[in-house]
Amino acid sequence: VAQCVEGKIWGLVGDTYSDRALIELVGEGHKDEFTLNGLQEDTEERTAKKNIIDAVRVNQIEFGHCPVGEPCWRALTITNHTQTKVMRFEWEADAPFRFSPKVGHLHPGCAKDITVTLRSDIPATFRRHLVKCKVTTISLEQPQRKVQDWDDQMTITMWKNTTRKEPGARWPKIERVVKTVPEPAHTVQEESSQEVEVYLNAVVAYAQFQLSTIRVQFKDTLPFQTRTATFIMHNTGEVALKYSWEKVEESEPMKKPFSTTLMR
């Protein structure tokens, strides 16, 4: 509950009631107007405060290890906890990180899922890479009940007549057009701007592996007999290794010593 609470307790010192200490307690509850859910604790801050009873900020997104050239996703949720305010959020992030949606509106009591994508074409290490989310309170020009909870990923699909015709067609070709829904008209309320700092951690690296051999030699095998051979594949890189085996066809058929010709 967002309120101030005060109290007093007496602490006895020793075995006598006369030796006592008065301890005054003061606490204040705070309720955020908006929150970001799905973040992780700041591990560096936790280490620095391991001997201190204090709150550790939850402001990290851990991507872990990601392969070069492949996208990695993480998800979080932004929530408007107020009952009357309409909020606008906007992420200030640069490549190779992308927030979707990047800009949006939040009606009272509403939430939106945010997808954070990392894709890098070169090896890179990101340690406490700072991004900011700017949140403001806005006033919509139209009544709130007539305006939907908007973000920059919303689209409208329309069908448009063209001047092109398929051979033998009687009517012109119809083209599908997808447009982004424009942001509803609004004004930003003065002194309502807030910024949230989020730190991103990731290691982007190439997948690497090593084989114990490049030549698999089977022992002599009789016809219709099954023979197996083993070797070791070791992941020597920093990211997960995905692999698959493909059969390479011989350019010329190989004659096997046990081949025969069927006679009629």
Convert the pLDDT of each residue in 228-250 to its tens digit: 989 999 988 888 888 888 888 76
In whole angstroms, give the CA distance from residue 39 to residue 36: 7
Query: Using 50, 70 and 90 to split pLDDT, how confident is the model at 135?
Result: very high
pTM for this entry:
0.70
Of 168, 200, 183, nearest to 62 by C-alpha is 200
In whole angstroms, give the CA distance from residue 260 to residue 264: 13
Report whether the peptide linkage leading into residue 253 is cis, meaning its omega lies within 30 degrees of zero.
Answer: no
Would the pLDDT of 215 be above 60? yes
Q: What is the pLDDT of residue 62?
A: 95
Ranges of beta strands (E only) in 68-207 are 72-80, 86-92, 97-100, 103-106, 111-118, 124-140, 155-161, 174-180, 186-188, 194-205
Could you tell me which CATH class the domain 4-205 is placed in? mainly beta
SS3 181: coil
Residue with tokens 């998800």: 75
Instruction: Give 39 or 11, the one with higher predicted confidence.
Output: 39
Of 211, 82, 202, 73, nearest to 136 by C-alpha is 82
236: left (phi over 0), alpha (psi -120 to 50) or beta: alpha
Q: What is the pLDDT of residue 119?
A: 96
Q: What is the pLDDT of residue 19?
A: 72
Q: What is the pLDDT of residue 159?
A: 86
* Token pair recorded at residue 160: 């448009």
Contact in structure between 52 and 45 (CB atoms under 8 Å): no
Contact in structure between 68 and 121 (CB atoms under 8 Å): yes
Which range is least confidently modeled, 93-107, 189-203, 232-246? Answer: 232-246
Q: What is the pLDDT of residue 259?
A: 47
Quick one: average pLDDT of 42-64?
68
Per-domain boundaries in the chain: 4-205
Secondary-structure breakdown of the chain: helix, strand, coil percentages, each rounded to the nearest 5? 5, 45, 50
Instruction: Give 17 or 165, the one with higher predicted confidence.
Output: 165
Residue with tokens 């009873």: 53
Query: Using 50, 70 and 90 to split pLDDT, how confident is the model at 257?
Result: low
DSSP, residue by residue, 209-246:
EEES-S---PPP--TT--------EEE-SSSPPP----
Classify residue 83 by its DSSP letter. Answer: S
* Token pair recorded at residue 152: 């920059």
